[in-house]
Chains A and B, each alone.
Chain A
Amino acid sequence: MTAAQLLPVLVAGPLLGAAVLVATGRWLPRYVADVFGAVVAGAASALALGVLVATAHRPAAVEWVGGWRPRHGTGVGIVLVGDGIGLGLAAVVSVLVVTVLVYSWRFFDDPPPHQAGAFPALILAFQAAMCGFTLTGDLFNAFVFFELMGVVAYALTGYRVDEARAVQGALTFGFLNSLGGYSLLLGVGLLYAHTGELGLAQLGAHLDAAPDGSGTLVKAAFVLVATGFLVKAAAVPFHFWLPDAHTVAPTPVCMLLSGAMVQLGVYGVARLYWTVFAGSGALPEAAVHRALLALGVLTAVTGALLCWLQRHVKRLLAFSTIAHTGLFLVTLAVLTPEAVAGTALYVLGHAGIKAALFACAGILVDRFGNVDEQELHGRGVRLRPVGVLFTVGGLALAGLPPFGTGLGKALSEEAAGGWLTVLFVAVSAATGGAVLRVAGGVFFGLGSPPAEEDRPHAAGRHRAGGEEQHEDAETTGADEPEETRERVTRAPDTMVVAAAALLAAGLAVGCVPPLWSAVSRAADSFTDHSGYAMAVLYSTGQHLTHSPAPHWSPAGVTLGLLSTVLAACGAWAALRTVPSGVRPRWSLPLRRLHSGHVGDYVACVVAGLTLLAALVW
């Protein structure tokens, strides 16, 4: 059995595991279901890592499912491509899923009766969809996995169906992502009409052969498909589903959404560009650069501002994910192998750190039934180990060397260069600073506690009348449903260990030079347009000139330290000077834009589609 033949197992294995859990979950005791889920996910991650290591120095593993190989460069078979970046992302997803399953052992104390298998089954289906999305070499299958990923994620977000806010957040998530999915499918339809192909490699080859025909159609197709992926990536103005979903979803689900799924949207855009459009004259490189850069800057700035303004800890972390997505897009806009390597390392480090931060926030939900920064002020003092982990996560998010996020940030700055360095430092400092502010206030009791009259009354807040809420648009973190039956007296070991392991993984990304050179090699072949087509259609490798392996540069270390210091100063200043709960008036229009209304959000998505089209033309 070759490595290529194992690729379908990465998708089918977890899917089969999910089916078994759904079929037998009714009779299984809870721990059997949980252990089974973790074993299946663990086996899949071992397999993904094994294939990744085995094919590290060889051309991408390509599997035509059912032996439907292309003839003379065309064909309708289903193809899975395990190149460095795709397979690497599948491995990251699988490892994260294992951690999440371990974390959630102590998270839900009482699953609904006779449904012990429901949660692990959904998580496994989610894993299968994400792995499928990273491995597929076919645009229509990418749409199918995109939708599968979406549907499972809506169900997971609304997992606590008897909770009012959860179903509302899941519904918003569902509407926006499905709309993105249909935009993606319209684009796929246009590309098929133009070329008669669905495979990424065949599409690319076809567009190369007729470089100047039907520029408008090709551009329209790119805009529609990219919109679909950008909705998933939560780029502003397509991002409105993300904060709502993260506010209401169970914390383990947030870890997967923020750690992996959102980044797959960014991956989708990059994969689409390099395999399909990079060689065609119809879509100039400058246009793609302009579009990604503009959306990236908008996303990074909006995300960082709103992150700083939040008091609901999970929502704060959600906006920090949006800010970092913006940074990923800004880096990718450079369209070089170095930029892809930098983004890949940044995504790797971010996955570990962000999941760890959510894990810590989940412990707060567990312990206090509340994730409101102000109400929890000083109450987390007894959870010192969690506080330390949360603080370290905040420092890492700000780009502290030698964390993976710091390395990714340094390489991205190097690739993007110029005034964008300021953006990287400012956005990292703002998101890291917001996390440090929460850590200082909640876990170490720094700063002044909120005045008694400012303290929102937990029960009455949401029903306190529309007028007041319209005046001050915000989501408080009070009234979180308890996710464990009895509030635990100290943080459960599995949860703390999972958070610590994720942080350690984020640290390892910045400390292991062999990983950097592997990522660099993967980025070289990822950006090789014709090499991908050769590997997929003719199973031939292409000799590449490898770019030098990335490493820490003195400038990168200095800027990383600078943004960390800025973050710490910002957090300190916020804790010292700003009276709690008072937020600047200038931020009101921005906050009001997040109105919680599905219709407004759909209008923003359509506006974003128009904006993207204007940028590409």
Chain B
Amino acid sequence: MSILPYLVAGWLFLAGCYGLATSRNLIHAVGSLAVCQASTYVLLLAVGYRRGGTAPVFSDIRPGSRPVVDPVVQALTLTDVVVGATLTALLLALVVQVSKRHGTVDPDELRELRG
């Protein structure tokens, strides 16, 4: 098992955090959050990978005849995608409202809540 996917996952998480921290546009920030989330997809799928494995669907292969990848992490990833979609939709809706009420989507100009 290669270590590369794990490094990619870590790099994606940090890249997303960097994007969030330096963002000048809230839509970009929501995108950066999605990049952070992509790291969880990569990690989960890497965990379930088996060399030479195929999809865990037993309609045309006999159980035990050849390796299959782990279906549990795929279910987890699918749940994670649903969570992410909900979240992105909600955050973007809030960004739309911020844009309407403040006339800007630049976090640097949104500083009323402080201290």
Q: Which residues of A contact B (CB under 8 A)?
A: 76, 140, 144, 147, 150-151, 154-155, 158, 161-165, 167-172, 174-175, 178-179, 181-183, 185-186, 188-190, 192-193, 198, 243-244, 247-248, 309-310, 462, 466, 469, 472-475, 591-592, 594-600, 602-603, 605-606
Determine if B107 is an interface residue (Cβ-Cβ < 8 Å). yes
Contact B33 A175 (CB under 8 A): yes
With contacts A167-B97, A189-B43 taken as known, whether A178 is within 8 angstroms of B87 at the C-beta atoms is yes
Report Cα–Cα, A240/B20, bound state, in Å: 15
Give the contacts of B7-63 with A (CB-CB under 8 A): 9, 13-14, 17, 20-23, 26, 29, 33, 36-37, 39-40, 43-44, 47
A472 / chain B contacts, CB cutoff of 8 Å: 115
A172 / chain B contacts, CB cutoff of 8 Å: 113
A183 / chain B contacts, CB cutoff of 8 Å: 13
Contact A186 B13 (CB under 8 A): yes
With contacts A161-B97, A168-B102, A606-B17 taken as known, whether A175 is within 8 angstroms of B91 at the C-beta atoms is yes
Report Cα–Cα, A462/B101, bound state, in Å: 14
Contact A473 B91 (CB under 8 A): no
Report Cα–Cα, A244/B115, bound state, in Å: 10
Report Cα–Cα, A596/B108, bound state, in Å: 9
Interface size on B, residues (CB 8 A): 42
CB pairs A–B below 8 angstroms (15 shown): A76-B72, A162-B97, A174-B91, A174-B94, A178-B33, A178-B91, A181-B83, A182-B13, A186-B40, A189-B44, A474-B115, A596-B111, A599-B20, A599-B21, A602-B20
Report Cα–Cα, A475/B115, bound state, in Å: 6
Proximity bits, B87-110, A CB within 8 Å = 1, else 0: 100110011011001100001101
| Most chain A CB atoms below 10 A, which of B26, B36, B98, B107 | B107
A169 / chain B contacts, CB cutoff of 8 Å: 113
Determine if B86 is an interface residue (Cβ-Cβ < 8 Å). yes
Contact B20 A171 (CB under 8 A): no
Report Cα–Cα, A469/B112, bound state, in Å: 9
Report Cα–Cα, A161/B99, bound state, in Å: 12
Contact A189 B47 (CB under 8 A): yes
Option from B23, B33, B90, B114 in Cβ contact (under 8 Å) with A179: B33
Report Cα–Cα, A473/B9, bound state, in Å: 38
Q: Closest CB of chain B to A220's CB: distance in Å?
A: 10
B43 / chain A contacts, CB cutoff of 8 Å: 186, 189-190
Contact B102 A591 (CB under 8 A): no
Contact B79 A599 (CB under 8 A): no
Contact A171 B111 (CB under 8 A): no
**What secondary structure prevails in chain A residues at the interface with B?**
helix
Contact B101 A174 (CB under 8 A): no
Report Cα–Cα, A47/B19, bound state, in Å: 46
Residue of B nearest to A188 (CB): B76
Residue of A nearest to B86 (CB): A151
Given contacts A151-B86, A181-B83, 19 further A-B contacts (CB under 8 A): A76-B72, A165-B113, A167-B94, A171-B26, A175-B20, A175-B29, A183-B13, A185-B40, A186-B39, A188-B76, A189-B43, A189-B44, A190-B43, A192-B73, A310-B115, A474-B114, A474-B115, A603-B17, A603-B21
Q: Closest CB of chain A to B26's CB: distance in Å?
A: 7
Report Cα–Cα, A308/B63, bound state, in Å: 65
A185 / chain B contacts, CB cutoff of 8 Å: 40, 44, 80
Q: Closest CB of chain A to B44's CB: distance in Å?
A: 5
With contacts A185-B80, A186-B39 taken as known, whether A162 is within 8 angstroms of B113 at the C-beta atoms is no
Residue of A nearest to B30 (CB): A175
Contact B114 A473 (CB under 8 A): yes
| Most chain B CB atoms below 10 A, which of A155, A162, A164 | A164
A606 / chain B contacts, CB cutoff of 8 Å: 14, 17, 21
A473 / chain B contacts, CB cutoff of 8 Å: 114-115
Report Cα–Cα, A388/B37, bound state, in Å: 48
B87 / chain A contacts, CB cutoff of 8 Å: 147, 150-151, 174, 178
Report Cα–Cα, A185/B115, bound state, in Å: 31
Closest 8 CB pairs of A and B: A474-B115, A164-B101, A473-B115, A193-B47, A591-B115, A167-B97, A596-B111, A602-B20
Q: Closest CB of chain B to A156's CB: distance in Å?
A: 11
B98 / chain A contacts, CB cutoff of 8 Å: 164, 167-168, 171
Report Cα–Cα, A389/B21, bound state, in Å: 42
Option from A171, A175, A591 in Cβ contact (under 8 Å) with B114: A591
A163 / chain B contacts, CB cutoff of 8 Å: 101
B115 / chain A contacts, CB cutoff of 8 Å: 309-310, 472-475, 591-592, 594
Option from A144, A170, A188, A591 in Cβ contact (under 8 Å) with B83: A144
B20 / chain A contacts, CB cutoff of 8 Å: 175, 179, 598-599, 602
Residue of A nearest to B108 (CB): A597
A599 / chain B contacts, CB cutoff of 8 Å: 20-23, 29, 107
B102 / chain A contacts, CB cutoff of 8 Å: 164, 168
Report Cα–Cα, A599/B91, bound state, in Å: 15
Residue of B nearest to A472 (CB): B115
Contact A475 B36 (CB under 8 A): no
Q: Closest CB of chain A to B98's CB: distance in Å?
A: 5
Q: Closest CB of chain A to B2's CB: distance in Å?
A: 13
With contacts A158-B94, A175-B20 taken as known, whether A168 is within 8 angstroms of B40 at the C-beta atoms is no
B9 / chain A contacts, CB cutoff of 8 Å: 186
Contact A595 B90 (CB under 8 A): no
B90 / chain A contacts, CB cutoff of 8 Å: 151, 154-155, 174
A181 / chain B contacts, CB cutoff of 8 Å: 83
Q: Closest CB of chain B to A243's CB: distance in Å?
A: 8
Report Cα–Cα, A192/B115, bound state, in Å: 41
Report Cα–Cα, A161/B87, bound state, in Å: 17
Contact B33 A595 (CB under 8 A): no
Residue of B nearest to A470 (CB): B111
With contacts A144-B83, A189-B47, A602-B21 taken as known, whether A182 is within 8 angstroms of B40 at the C-beta atoms is yes
Contact A179 B39 (CB under 8 A): no
Residue of B nearest to A244 (CB): B113
B21 / chain A contacts, CB cutoff of 8 Å: 599-600, 602-603, 606
Q: Closest CB of chain A to B95's CB: distance in Å?
A: 7
A244 / chain B contacts, CB cutoff of 8 Å: 113
Report Cα–Cα, A279/B94, bound state, in Å: 44
Contact B112 A168 (CB under 8 A): yes
Q: Closest CB of chain A to B66's CB: distance in Å?
A: 20
Q: Closest CB of chain A to B6's CB: distance in Å?
A: 9
Option from B76, B79, B112 in Cβ contact (under 8 Å) with A462: B112
| Most chain A CB atoms below 10 A, which of B22, B23, B83, B86 | B83
